[in-house]
Amino acid sequence: MSGLAALCLLLLQTGAFGFGIDLFSLYDGSILHEEITQTAILNTTVQVCRALALAEGKDFTFPPQPLTAESVVVACEASQSSKSFRNTIKLIQKKNRQVDIFSFMLAHYHFDDEKFLEGRKIITEGLSAVKASNKLKNFKAAGETLGRILHILQDFYSHSNWVEMENKLPNSNLIRAGTSIGNIAADSRATCRNCNGDDCRDNILEDILQEKILTSGYFNFVPFFSTKPKGKCSHGGVIDRTSKIEPKGGINKDTFDANHGHLHRRAANLAIAATSELLEDIRRAAGDIPFLQMLGISKGSSKALCFVIDTTLSMSDDIEAVRDVTSSIIDNTVGTDDDPSVYILVPFKDPGFGPVTKTTDPNVFKDAINALSLTDGVDVPEMSLSGLQLALASAPSNSEIFLFTDAPAKDKHLKSTVIALIERTQTVVNFMITNLKGLRRRRHSREVTSDANLYRDLAQASGGLAIEVTKSELPVATIITTESSSSPLVTLLQAARSPGKTETFTFTVDESVRNVTVYITGRFFTFTLINPSGVSQKSTDSTGSLITAFQSVGNFQTLQLKTQTGLWEIKMVSTNPYILKVVGDSPIDFLFDFLKVSQGLFGGLDVVDNRPRAGVNGSLVVTITGSDSATVTEVILVESSGLGEVTGSVEAKGGGDFIARFDRIPAEEFVVLVKGQNNNGSSRASSVTFQRQSPTNIRASTVTVTSPDSNNILEPGTPLSVHFSVMTSGAGGTFRIQATNDQSFDSTFPSSLILETGISADGTVTLTAPPNTPSGTAVTLTIEAENPGGEDTNYVVLRFTVLKTVTDFTPPVCELLSLQANCLDVCSLSMWQLSARVTDGAEGAEGAEGAEGAEATGVDRVGLSQGNGTVTTSLAVDNENITLVSYSSSCCSPDVELLVVDQVGNVGTCFYTRSMSTKVTQSPLFALSIVALGLYILT
């Protein structure tokens, strides 16, 4: 072990065990990154939902303070988005936290060492990537990048002297490239004096504060190598070695106990304001509805409707069935609570797969399916797993995907990659397989079974179904499986047995659950159902009272149960493989992440981004969604074979979070089972017991794969080196390495690494996006390591955003051409109108288009941020870089504010009132967030 690694280990051992900067703070009472981030997100979301409601002429009721994810989605009339909203917040918080883990010694990631311009560059580049990702609806990539840059932005207020200079508002130019962020201290200028003992309140020099000179503390934790320029401030704290070098002490405001801890709350409140300001900029660039979608909020269902479709000639009947089902789903759900949040289509054949169609417009989705063209494949197997890989990378987490095919997979080598993506996204995959055996008549039955088993294995891993039907049966099977795809389904029970055996399963139905449905795939089985009152019904009994609806097609049966709360039993009798799944509609569900000892300076725990370590003790965090009053009483790791289970000890951490600790993590595949109480009222009698299960099967591993989570920007045509490390606690040897990406970008990587037990080996993947790749394209890279025996693997999944170099940072501008207002005393009887000319405000816009690596300039869209009138736009006849805007409104609405966004997400606003003649006002870009300060200040 190296000296540096030993020091890191020492720091971990001496640190308190908590979440570091998580809500489970090791600094009791201090306001840390997690809380700053969540507070700003919740408040900004409320403001967006309020604006949408008012625009629709609806009343809006602010949720009570303190805000929660659940109360906000209720106020936004988007209750079904509770789980996806909470999941997005956690993703942003995690990426924020990981800056302290992977980039703790990079001064520009924390505004340390007076690296102000370098830190601002990371923020503005990341902000451009977020906007480009949102434009292409790559919301997961946008959320990950957002989390990283928020950490840097928030650190500015704790690590610099911005607060000490008595600034009351955030430094808005930190998110605007090409502007001044202040008068930065020269390298030779002294900024601090020694602290007076433990009192560091007055250690910043008076002339620095009076002249508004911007400085920040120097930081280094490595003994004997810690230096700083003469006279400069230190960060401060126990682990900062520079704080022992004159001038001694520090200026950070990270906690109440820090050297400048008396300013901690003011710094935190400014960080919240700055976070809200950045969110407001993203909102205006994207638009209100796409902004909410980035956060996982949709007025209808939070789920995606995602089809992966084989487009070879033999699939003509199947695709026609998909078209009919799609039309039915869209016709029945548009404008309702079950309206999918996004529609995704991925075609595949041989050779080739994709491109992805991702849209929020159901008619665009319909047109894409209708436009599918059928071609004859090179041979029978198709690129089904490549198509599925692309869908898993494109769909939101916790989605449900339907794959249609009549052919085996040609790309079976992607099986482990697909399983890795299933585990990371917690996505359910259903396979609709038609006439697979019919296509394989000339092959051995052994091969036919292998072809079907691949799809069954992937379905089981995801908690989905492998439905085998004839082509004539497919329409019925498709309708059954997709009719509830937009509902807030929760899993009450999921089990698979291969080979089958006689076994009794139990599941609990609580008062929040509606429409309980049992799905079974398999052949030659019988079952007996027993309800909580002891009444039973056999599968051969068509007159029983427990099953209200029954359908059977191919190897697939579905049962609609007469809902009764309490403990149910189902006894399965079969010697053949089967999958049993019980689901219901309920708002109450859960998220979970396994935890590990953090590799950051502050010790504690961090989220495991892949498989937990097998055979040792471990822990996970469970977050209840859909209820602010629900509590967790038990968390059980149930082996998928049904042979064993491990029960954890549960500790409440607040905010709907619970930590479960286990004596061991099973070496066998397992699922997570959560039991709890939902307290509907003030009395104990109103408490309701519930049970939920993760659909995804979890695999533990003795292999660890990690990669620094820092630079996630991929410039087209420029190779990016992605470093990774592999370690094993099992036997050493030659480990196979596989690196794949969903965009088929060129990459190189080592095919193997030689490992010794407990000692890591390093490798590098070189990834290159083609020069013409559009900005905002998301690429998902999966790096896998497999032990010499092939029975143990682990992985790391990384997401990158392609971004061409942005040179235009100037907001668009407006020029008023005419304004006419002849308003009568009765305002509703008269109108006023204006016309304006809008251009991208960048100097040399026409020339910038041809600059190497530059984004094309020009206006992208014009909308309203204020006003109830009608806007129409057109391009100028003689210059396509000029947009002509016409606005007309009732005289009862006297003001209008145009919101103009250019091609790279720069936002400009132009305010007009009917009483003005030719006056044009460029209104403050972030007025809303500043006005809302009263909402997000923490007291």
Residue 548, domain CATH = 2.60.120.380
Question: Band of the pLDDT at 7, cuts 50, 70, 90?
Answer: very low
Determine the pLDDT at residue 364: 93
Determine the pLDDT at residue 57: 87
Give the number of domains in the chain. Answer: 6
Question: Band of the pLDDT at 20, cuts 50, 70, 90?
Answer: very low
Q: Report the amino acid identity of residue 677.
A: Q
Domain contains 934:
no
Domain contains 931:
no
CB–CB of 710/103 below 8 Å? yes
Kindly give, in sequence order, each residue whose CB lies less than 8 Å from that of residue 898, ignoring residues fewer than 6 positions away.
Answer: 814, 836, 838, 862, 863, 864, 865, 871, 885, 887, 909, 910, 911, 912
Higher pLDDT, 193 or 709: 193
Is the domain of 823 the same as that of 881?
A: yes
d(CA 416, CA 917): 67
Determine the pLDDT at residue 620: 94
Counting DSSP H helices and E strands in the chain, the numbers are: 18, 43
Question: Band of the pLDDT at 207, cuts 50, 70, 90?
Answer: very high
CB–CB of 516/544 below 8 Å? no
Is the domain of 469 the same as that of 562?
A: no
pLDDT beyond 90 at 598: no
Domain of residue 548, residue span? 489-586
The mean pLDDT of 782-802, rounded to a whole number, is 96
The radius of gyration of the chain's CA atoms, rounded to the nearest angstrom, is 29
pLDDT beyond 80 at 8: no
**Crossing angle of the two packed helices 33-55 and 264-286, in degrees rounded to 10:** 40
Question: Band of the pLDDT at 156, cuts 50, 70, 90?
Answer: very high
Higher pLDDT, 794 or 20: 794
Q: Which candidate, 662, 729, 672, places its Cα nearest to that of 698?
A: 672
Q: Which residues pair with 833 in a beta bridge?
A: 820, 888
Least confidently predicted of 257-266, 480-489, 673-682, 814-823: 480-489
Determine the pLDDT at residue 448: 47
Domain contains 593:
no
Domain contains 596:
no
Higher pLDDT, 444 or 908: 908
d(CA 153, CA 92): 14
Within 10 angstroms of residue 768's Cβ, the number of other Cβ atoms is 17
> What are 804-860's pLDDT values in tens digits?
999 888 899 999 999 998 898 899 899 999 999 999 876 544 433 333 434 446 899
Q: To the nearest whole number, what is the mean pLDDT of the chain?
A: 87
Domain contains 604:
no
Q: Which candidate, 616, 621, 685, places its Cα nearest to that of 646?
A: 616
> What are 329-375's pLDDT values in tens digits?
888 777 777 788 889 999 999 888 999 999 989 899 999 999 998 88
The mean pLDDT of 260-272, rounded to a whole number, is 95
Is the domain of 759 the same as that of 729?
A: yes
pLDDT beyond 90 at 61: yes
Is the domain of 580 the same as that of 634?
A: no
The mean pLDDT of 565-584, rounded to a whole number, is 95
Residue 633, φ and ψ in degrees, nearest 5: -110, -30
The mean pLDDT of 461-482, rounded to a whole number, is 89
Let me know if 157 is exposed, middle or buried by CB neighbors in 10 A (0-12, 13-18, 19+): buried
Determine the pLDDT at residue 930: 33
Determine the pLDDT at residue 602: 55
Question: Band of the pLDDT at 135, cuts 50, 70, 90?
Answer: very high
d(CA 692, CA 61): 32
Question: Band of the pLDDT at 198, cuts 50, 70, 90?
Answer: confident
The mean pLDDT of 505-525, rounded to a whole number, is 93
Is the domain of 481 the same as that of 494?
A: no
Please report, for the domain that includes residue 829, its CATH number: 2.60.40
Of 294, 313, 336, the last residue of a domain is 294
Determine the pLDDT at residue 247: 96
d(CA 111, CA 116): 6
d(CA 205, CA 197): 16
Is the domain of 581 the same as that of 675?
A: no
The mean pLDDT of 564-578, rounded to a whole number, is 94
Of 774, 802, 830, the last residue of a domain is 802
Report the share of the chain in percent with pLDDT over 70: 89
Question: Band of the pLDDT at 303, cuts 50, 70, 90?
Answer: confident
Q: Rounded to two decimals, what is the model's pTM?
A: 0.91
The mean pLDDT of 792-802, rounded to a whole number, is 96
Is the domain of 137 the same as that of 283?
A: yes
CB–CB of 769/716 below 8 Å? yes
Is the domain of 791 the same as that of 912?
A: no
d(CA 172, CA 926): 9
Domain contains 514:
yes
Please report, for the domain that includes residue 708, its CATH number: 2.60.40.10
Determine the pLDDT at residue 582: 96
Is the domain of 290 the same as that of 314?
A: no
Domain contains 394:
yes
Is the domain of 624 the same as that of 684?
A: yes
pLDDT beyond 80 at 27: no
Report the share of the chain in percent with pLDDT over 90: 69
Is the domain of 243 the same as that of 131?
A: yes
The mean pLDDT of 444-472, rounded to a whole number, is 81
The mean pLDDT of 670-688, rounded to a whole number, is 75
Of 294, 324, 341, the last residue of a domain is 294
Is the domain of 328 the same as that of 431?
A: yes
Determine the pLDDT at residue 403: 95
Domain contains 592:
no
Q: Which candidate, 856, 864, 807, 859, places its Cα nearest to that of 838?
A: 859
pLDDT beyond 50 at 416: yes
Please report, for the domain that includes residue 344, its CATH number: 3.40.50.410
Determine the pLDDT at residue 758: 94
Least confidently predicted of 221-230, 314-323, 739-748: 221-230
Question: Band of the pLDDT at 452, cuts 50, 70, 90?
Answer: confident
What 3 state SS string does 363-408 have?
HHHHHHHHCCCCECCCCCCECHHHHHHHHHHHCCCCCEEEEEECCC
